[in-house]
Amino acid sequence: MAERRFGEVILAVQDISLSFGGVKALTSVSFEIREHEIRAIIGPNGAGKSSMLNVINGFYHPQEGSITYKGVTRSRMHPHHAASHGIARTFQNIALFRGMSTLDNIMTGRVHKMKANVLMQALYWPARREEVENREFVEHIIDFLEIQAIRKTPVGRLPYGMQKRVELGRALAAEPDLLLLDEPMAGMNLEEKEDMCRFVLDVTEEFGTTIALIEHDMGVVMDISDRVVVLDYGEKLADGVPAEVREDQAVVDAYLGVAHD
Amino acid sequence: MIYREAGQFKTSYPADRAIFPIVQDRYFVAAIALAAFVAVPLLASEYWLVTIMLPFLVLSLAAIGLNILTGYAGLLSLGTGGFMACGAFAAYKLSTAFPELHIIGVFALSGVITAGVGVVFGIPSLRIKGFYLAVATLASQFFLVWLFNKLPWFTNYSPSGVISAPPRALFGDVFVTGSSATPEAKYLFALTAVCVLALLAKNMVRGNIGRKWMAIRDMDIAAEIIGIPMLRTKLLAFAISSFYIGVAGAMWAFIYTSSVEALAFGIERSFQVLFIIIIGGLGSILGSFLGAAFIVLLPILLSNAPQLIGLQIPVDMVTHLEFMIFGALIILFLIVEPHGLARLWSIAKEKLRLWPFPH
Amino acid sequence: MEFLQAVFVDPFVSIYEYPLFFIEVLIGGLLTGVMYSLVALGFVLIFKASGVFNFAQGAMVLFAALTLVGLMEYGLPLWAALIITVGIMVLLALVIERVVLRPLVNQEHIILFMATIGITFFLDGFGQMIWGSDVKLLDVGIPQDPIEIKGVLINKFDIWAAVIAGMLVMLLAVFFQRTRVGRALRAVADDHQAAMSVGIPLKTIWAIVWSVAGIVGLVAGIIWGSKLGVQFSLALIALKALPVLILGGFTSVPGAIIGGLIIGAGEKVAEVFWGSAFGGAIEDWFAYMLALVFLVFRPQGLFGEKIIERV
């Protein structure tokens, strides 16, 4: 694998705390993500990993802490702002638009690139060039993900692994600077996992995209990620390169289930 | 054997996006258009034009409007009748206040006014969805109809509340509205308007805005997270949908019945248009036409069929039968084919493509 | 100016000057509200147990009342007609479960909602085809004469209606809290899948719940029918139960009752004291507008739970 050079810090979360009613989901979590790296967030079930992604892209609003994205510090993100400023994501439970074809699903990832107003679209010709240009870009992604054959199939009819791939395609179509992947390999068989690993690595290499991913499969995480942050019970347990994290006693305890006393 | 797409390769993305990508479809549509624009006005009797074709066209247009809101954007509305009334009365006020205004301008402006009203009633849709929204749209239904009934300003202080639509000419002395216009002129005008508006609607739903609407329909949270602006997209669906429904209401009053009365746009009208899109197909422009044809033809069939086989059924019995059959059909369609007649049509085409060698 | 005075001054003046009249209007409205509550109660029962928004509840009220009157017109005594009507409502529930709900299980809620609109039309047509469409008088022996309590005139009938409604609600409460079937119903309402996995037969539960809703519909139909005559407009009055649900929340029995009272009292008072300022008949839309305004500020209803959305 070619050596990637990490750039500046693209996103940093500082002392994020989030709770629902009385239930604490995250307690004072801080970490940073650098440009072009693959950053994994791991931890046992209920550790607050998905909540962390939801905070980053503005779906949940933390009670405390701040988020610095591309040099601008805020107390919370807004989903629309996050999406229009280069944060795209996939979901743990696939969140595709089931009634639409693969092509249309991926095209929805381009909403920020398409400026033609409704009247232009209704008249067809004024919006035609924009539509074709974006279609060309989406076709690149379809080629990249090797899903040409299912281009016109409604996604509701696709097998699980394919749906995950289409969802990745939709996120990539937005040409994100930061891509959040919520368990991209959950529920996949070995072959599908290998495919997905390949795509994730190719994404950073070809497009230079920064990736933050949540994953359960420790083997996968240690293989593909550059740095790993470990959460447990909503608190940060460890942070570092895979080799360090693997040796960390607290991490081992959390995973093997040593009694908390 | 004739319906084959083998050998038809698309070499550009626009060709792939065409409404009728297959050559045979284009011939078929050309034939239909020829029949609609030439054969029907020449051959059809006045009865056919006035009691079947005109309501069919107007209801198709209203159904396209509701389909944009419900079938594409997934926002259920029971307020169609109220918005049709809004279009009808806007057209009446516009054409009496500005007698010089061209009839196309009158219809377009009454659509725009209805769009504005639709947006106001659509505002709660940001916070509520599903059944809650359906109940909220009932408010627009009952309020608007009440408003047009009660405020004499809307009927220009006519004592009876029933007013006849003013005659307006398209060009010269070719009258297309009011009771003095010929059925042929009315029909051709309505047909042209509906065809143009249907084409515009088709362009929208296959474009970027259509994808945004369907994204909200299929999974609103994901749509919001990938950056589709929720309020703006929903309100746009309300605006465009209400525009179509408003124009349909104006055409109902000016072209079909030649009289403007709020009673024609009660809650029954809302259900009628809803049934059209369920039977025709949710999320299908073609389905809006198929469903409207079905809804217009079924009662005629029901009231005539028994006589053909020598049975005499009292009128109120026919009405009740109609209710039952519509109810049963709705359930049947939802169970067997939620995508309605439009889906059956595309299945038939799929079969035809393979026929007679299914493998 | 005149209009502003008619809206903001005159009504309060007349309320102040004729307090007894105001109380009469208010009580009359509350008692109408009781009847809205009865219809709304049927909705809530079905929504809780099956997640189906049953638009056909109004049609069930009409159908039950039509059947009862029809049977009585054939000369059956009240008790026999009642038993047969209850039987028919249970049969109807079984048929709906088998023909409509079962094939549509796991479909989206909006599809089921539209299916119940289909049921509505079918029932409206079916009931009137069998029993005719002219207005029928229903007399089950509830007294209709007014009585005077401390200077306020109240119709005895309305008091009876409130008593019957109250008894029905208590009966339902006992049924839900104390019986095995009631516990199973509550389990299903909380979580379909979990209930199924512990062996609660979903189909039976649905059939029971629709039967109970049918019987609640019958009670509503008897009261409405005795007051207004049994006719098609009953099905339309039932539409008023929809804003009641918005106010009370779709899953709350107390909500249905309080929502009904608010809507009933609100629209009567509005009509009598404010109606003339707006040209009258504001009863037609007042309830819906109230619900609409309410929705903007508290979408989950008075008693509904706030929904936390997850991805």
Tens digits of residue pLDDT in C64-98 = 999 999 999 888 898 999 999 999 999 999 999 89
Residue B111, pLDDT score: 97
**String of b and e for A231-260 (b: at least 16 CB within 10 Å)?**
bbbbebbbbeebeebeebeebeebeeeeee
Residue B39, pLDDT score: 87
**C79: three-class secondary structure by DSSP:** helix
Tens digits of residue pLDDT in A217-256 = 788 888 899 999 999 888 998 899 988 888 888 888 877 6
Q: Say which CATH number the domain at C160 has.
A: 1.10.3470
Kindly report the backbone phi and psi dihedral angles of residue A250, in degrees, each rounded to the nearest multiple of 5, phi listed first: -60, -40
Mutant choice from C114, C293, C307 vs B, greatest count of B C-beta within 10 A: C114
Per-residue 3-state assignment (H helix, E strand, C coil) for chain B: CCCCCCCCCCCCHHHHHCCCCCHHHHHHHHHHHHHHHHHHHHHCCHHHHHHHHHHHHHHHHHHHHHHHHHHHCCCCCCCHHHHHHHHHHHHHHHHHHCCCCCHHHHHHHHHHHHHHHHHHHHHHHHCCCCHHHHHHHHHHHHHHHHHHHHCHHHHCCCCCCCEECCCCECCCCCECCCCCCCHHHHHHHHHHHHHHHHHHHHHHHCCHHHHHHHHHHHCHHHHHHCCCCHHHHHHHHHHHHHHHHHHHHHHHHHHHCCEECHHHHCHHHHHHHHHHHHHHCCCCHHHHHHHHHHHHHHHHHHHHHHHHCCCCCCHHHHHHHHHHHHHHHHHHHHHHCCCHHHHHHHHHHHHHHHCCCCC
What CATH number labels B20-266?
A: 1.10.3470
Residue A216 belongs to some domain of the structure: yes
Tens digits of residue pLDDT in C101-142 = 888 877 777 788 889 989 999 999 998 888 887 888 887 777
Bond preceding residue B299 cis, omega within 30 of 0: no
**C268: three-class secondary structure by DSSP:** helix
Tokens read off for A125: 């010709």
Distance from CA of C251 to the nearest CA of A (A): 22
Q: What one-letter code names the amino acid at A57?
A: N
Look up the ipTM and state it: 0.89
Residue C47, pLDDT score: 86
How far apart are the C-alpha atoms of A242 and A227, rounded to whole Å? 6
B338–C107 CB contact, under 8 Å: yes
Section A97-106 average pLDDT: 93
- Residue A112 near residue A173 (C-beta atoms within 8 A): no
Residue A107, pLDDT score: 95
Domain that holds residue C115: 14-297
How far apart are the C-alpha atoms of B261 and B162, rounded to whole Å? 5
Mutant choice from B125, B145, B146 vs C, greatest count of C C-beta within 10 A: B146
Distance from CA of B247 to the nearest CA of C (A): 24
The strands making up A23-34's β-sheet, listed across from edge to edge, are A23-34, A9-20, A64-69, A72-74
Section C2-18 average pLDDT: 79
Q: Chain A contact for B223, CB < 8 A? A: yes
Phi-psi region of C301 (alpha: psi -120 to 50; beta: other; left: phi over 0): left
Tens digits of residue pLDDT in C180-226 = 888 887 787 777 778 778 888 878 888 888 999 999 999 989 988 88
Residue C28, pLDDT score: 84
Element holding A20 (H helix, E strand): strand A9-20
Phi-psi region of B258 (alpha: psi -120 to 50; beta: other; left: phi over 0): left
**A28: three-class secondary structure by DSSP:** strand
Residue A86, CB half-sphere, CA atoms under 13 Å: how many? 12
Distance from CA of A125 to the nearest CA of C (A): 36
Higher pLDDT, A19 or C249: A19
Residue C302 belongs to some domain of the structure: no
Check whether C309 has a pLDDT greater than 60.
no
How far apart are the C-alpha atoms of C109 and A56, rounded to whole Å? 32
| Nearest Cβ partner for C125 among B222, B323, B334 | B323
Q: The tokens 């550009």 sit on which residue?
A: B12
Q: What one-letter code names the amino acid at A143?
A: D
What percent of chain A has pLDDT above 90? 52
**Predicted confidence band at A2 (pLDDT cuts at 50, 70, 90)?**
very low
Residue C109, pLDDT score: 77
Average pLDDT, chain B: 88
Q: What one-letter code names the amino acid at A220?
A: V
> Considering all CA atoms of chain A, what is the largest pairwise distance in Å, rounded to the nearest integer?
69
- Residue B79 near residue B137 (C-beta atoms within 8 A): yes
Q: What is the DSSP-derived secondary structure letter of residue C179?
A: S
Is the torsion defined by CA of A194, A57, A86, A173 positive or negative? positive
Q: The tokens 């891509």 sit on which residue?
A: A179
Residue B209, pLDDT score: 95
Residue B357, pLDDT score: 65
Tokens read off for C228: 């207004």
A91–C308 CB contact, under 8 Å: no
Check whether A55 has a pLDDT greater than 90.
yes
Residue C170, pLDDT score: 87
Domain that holds residue A61: 9-86+176-256
**Predicted confidence band at A1 (pLDDT cuts at 50, 70, 90)?**
very low
Q: Say which CATH number the domain at A184 has.
A: 3.40.50.300
How far apart are the C-alpha atoms of A206 and A70, rounded to whole Å? 21
Q: Are strands A235-240 and B163-164 parallel, antiparallel or unpaired?
A: unpaired
Length, in residues, of chain A: 261
B226–A174 CB contact, under 8 Å: yes
Find chain A residues with C-beta within 8 A of C311's C-beta: 50, 54, 59, 91-93, 95
Length, in residues, of chain C: 311
**Predicted confidence band at C304 (pLDDT cuts at 50, 70, 90)?**
low
Burial of B82 (0-12, 13-18, 19+ CB in 10 A): buried
Kindly report the backbone phi and psi dihedral angles of residue B156, in degrees, each rounded to the nearest multiple of 5, phi listed first: 50, 40
Q: Chain A contact for B208, CB < 8 A? A: yes
- Residue C163 near residue C177 (C-beta atoms within 8 A): no
C295–B127 CB contact, under 8 Å: yes
How far apart are the C-alpha atoms of C182 and C45, rounded to whole Å? 11
How far apart are the C-alpha atoms of B50 and C157, rounded to whole Å? 51
Residue C310 belongs to some domain of the structure: no
What are the beta bridge partners of residue A235?
A: A232
Nearest residue in chain A measured CA to CA from B236: A118
Residue A4, pLDDT score: 58
How far apart are the C-alpha atoms of B146 and B85, rounded to whole Å? 10
Residue C185 belongs to some domain of the structure: yes
Kindly report the backbone phi and psi dihedral angles of residue C149, in degrees, each rounded to the nearest multiple of 5, phi listed first: -120, 115
Nearest residue in chain A measured CA to CA from B233: A118
| Nearest Cβ partner for B143 among C99, C285, C311 | C285
Of C288, C283, C251, residue with least CA distance to C269: C283
Residue A220, pLDDT score: 84
Helical H segments across chain A, by residue range: 49-56, 79-84, 102-108, 118-122, 125-144, 160-173, 190-207, 218-224, 242-247, 249-256
| Nearest Cβ partner for B227 among A91, A112, A122 | A112
Higher pLDDT, B320 or A107: A107
Tokens read off for C267: 């629209």
**String of b and e for C72-92 (b: at least 16 CB within 10 Å)?**
beeebeeeebbeebbebbbeb
Residue A95 belongs to some domain of the structure: no
Average pLDDT, chain A: 89
Check whether A41 has a pLDDT greater than 90.
yes
C295–B274 CB contact, under 8 Å: no
Q: What one-letter code names the amino acid at B38?
A: V
Find chain C residues with C-beta within 8 A of B145's C-beta: 284
Residue C191 belongs to some domain of the structure: yes
Distance from CA of B270 to the nearest CA of C (A): 12
Check whether A178 has a pLDDT greater than 60.
yes
Residue B161, pLDDT score: 64
Find chain C residues with C-beta within 8 A of A92's C-beta: 311
Distance from CA of A239 to the nearest CA of B (A): 28
Q: Are strands B259-260 and B163-164 parallel, antiparallel or unpaired?
A: antiparallel
Question: What contacts A138, CB < 8 A, 6 or more positions away?
Answer: A103, A106, A107, A109, A110, A169, A173
Q: Could you report how far apart the first and last alpha carbons of chain A are, in Å?
A: 43
C311–A20 CB contact, under 8 Å: no
The domain tally of chain A equals 1
How far apart are the C-alpha atoms of B210 and B212, rounded to whole Å? 5
Check whether C163 has a pLDDT greater than 60.
yes
Of A162, A192, A10, residue with least CA distance to A96: A162
Q: Chain C contact for A19, CB < 8 A? A: no
Tens digits of residue pLDDT in B10-27 = 778 888 878 887 788 888
Find chain C residues with C-beta within 8 A of A91's C-beta: 311
Question: What contacts B270, CB < 8 A, 6 or more positions away?
Answer: B77, B78, B79, B80, B81, B82, B141
Length, in residues, of chain B: 359
In C54-200, where do the E strands start and end? 146-149, 152-155
All partners of chain B with 3 or more CB pairs under 8 angstroms:
A, C
Question: What contacts C100, CB < 8 A, 6 or more positions away?
Answer: B331, B335, C115, C116, C118, C119
Question: What contacts C166, CB < 8 A, 6 or more positions away?
Answer: none
Residue C4 belongs to some domain of the structure: no
Find chain B residues with C-beta within 8 A of A118's C-beta: 204, 209, 236, 240
**C230: three-class secondary structure by DSSP:** strand
- Over chain B (359 residues), what is each successive 10-residue block's mean pLDDT? 69 80 83 89 88 95 97 92 96 92 94 96 80 84 91 82 82 80 92 96 94 93 90 95 97 93 91 92 92 91 77 78 89 83 79 67
Residue C311 belongs to some domain of the structure: no
Of C279, C274, C253, residue with least CA distance to C166: C253
What percent of chain C has pLDDT above 70? 95
All partners of chain C with 3 or more CB pairs under 8 angstroms:
A, B
B335–C285 CB contact, under 8 Å: no
Residue C139, CB half-sphere, CA atoms under 13 Å: how many? 5
The domain tally of chain C equals 1
Residue B195, pLDDT score: 95
Tens digits of residue pLDDT in A56-81 = 999 899 999 999 999 999 998 888 88
